[in-house]
Amino acid sequence: NAGVMQNPRHLVRRRGQEARLRCSPVKGHSHVYWYRQLPEEGLKFMVYLQKENIIDESGMPKERFSAEFPKEGPSILRIQQVVRGDSAAYFCASSPLRSEKLFFGSGTQLSVL
Amino acid sequence: AQRVTQPEKLLSVFKGAPVELKCNYSYSGSPELFWYVQYSRQRLQLLLRHISRESIKGFTADLNKGETSFHLKKPFAQEEDSAMYYCALRDNQGGKLIFGQGTELSVKP
C-alpha cells in the first residue's frame, strides 16, 4: 500500500495558466481532503470530498478553484488562471470513514512565475 | 468560531530537557483533538489523539477543558524528536481537521 499519492511533486506555472493537482487516496479510502500551506502559515482547509460528492468546500476560494473526486480515478484540485498568490504547498489527505484519522500525501509545491 | 492556536513558531531545547508544545483551542461542545508530526522529508502523520489517552514515543497530551488547552509534553527530549508539530481540532460537523500554525521543535545535542 503506497499511501496517499500526489502528483506532480512540483508544478511550475506562469500567471494565467491552469494548474491541475492530482491525489490518489489510500486504496479503499473514500474521503479526501485538500489543504493549502502558504509560506510561514499552517495548513488551511480547502475542501472535503467523498466519492462524487463535495461535502464541505468552505475553505475554497470562490473563484478559479474547483475540486472533484470521481467514482473512478484520482481527486483533482484545479486552479484556473493562476496568480502569484496561489504559490503554495497543496496537501491531500484521505480517510476510510468520516471520522477516522487522516493519511497525508507528500504534497504538491505549486510555483507561479 | 473553531480555532487552534499554537503560540510558538519555534521551540529549541537541549537533549534530555523537558518539552512542552502549547496548543489552545476555541470550540463549543466536546472537542476532538490531535497532534500531527512532520519529520524532515516525511509526510505529516498522526502522533496521538486525546480520545486514545496514549503515549507515543514518550509524548503525552492532556485535554484541559477549563483552560481550553491540549499541550504536548515529553519529559526528556531526544534529537530525533526534532520536527514540525501541528495541533488539530475536528470540526463540529465531524469531518475536516482544523490545524494550528505549527511549532518547529529543535532538539540540540
pLDDT in tens, A51-72: 889 999 999 998 999 999 999 9
**In this prediction, what percent of chain B has a pLDDT beyond 70?**
99
Which of A29, A104, A106, A108 has the most B C-beta neighbours within 10 Å, making it the best mutation to test the interface with B?
A104
User: Which of helix, strand or coil describes residue B52?
Assistant: helix
Residue with cell 537541549: B14
Mean pLDDT of A87-108: 90
Tell me what pLDDT residue B51 has.
79
Mean pLDDT of B24-40: 91
B93 touches chain A (CB under 8 A): yes
Closest Cα in chain B, distance from residue A13 (Å): 24
Which of A43, A48, A57 has the most B C-beta neighbours within 10 Å, making it the best mutation to test the interface with B?
A43
Residue B94 has pLDDT above 80, yes or no: no
Tell me what pLDDT residue B107 has.
97
Mean pLDDT of B50-57: 82
Mean pLDDT of B21-32: 91
What is the Cα–Cα distance from B109 to A31, expressed in whole angstroms? 41
Q: CB–CB of B96 and A91 under 8 A? A: no
Contact A37, A103 (CB under 8 A): no
**Average pLDDT along chain B:** 92
Residue A99 has pLDDT above 80, yes or no: no
Angle at B78 between CA B31 and CA B74, to 5 degrees: 30
Name the residue with higher pLDDT: A35 or A38.
A35
Contacts with A4 from chain B: Cβ below 8 Å: 43
What is the Cα–Cα distance from A19 to A78, expressed in whole angstroms? 6
A54 touches chain B (CB under 8 A): no
Contact B74, B35 (CB under 8 A): no
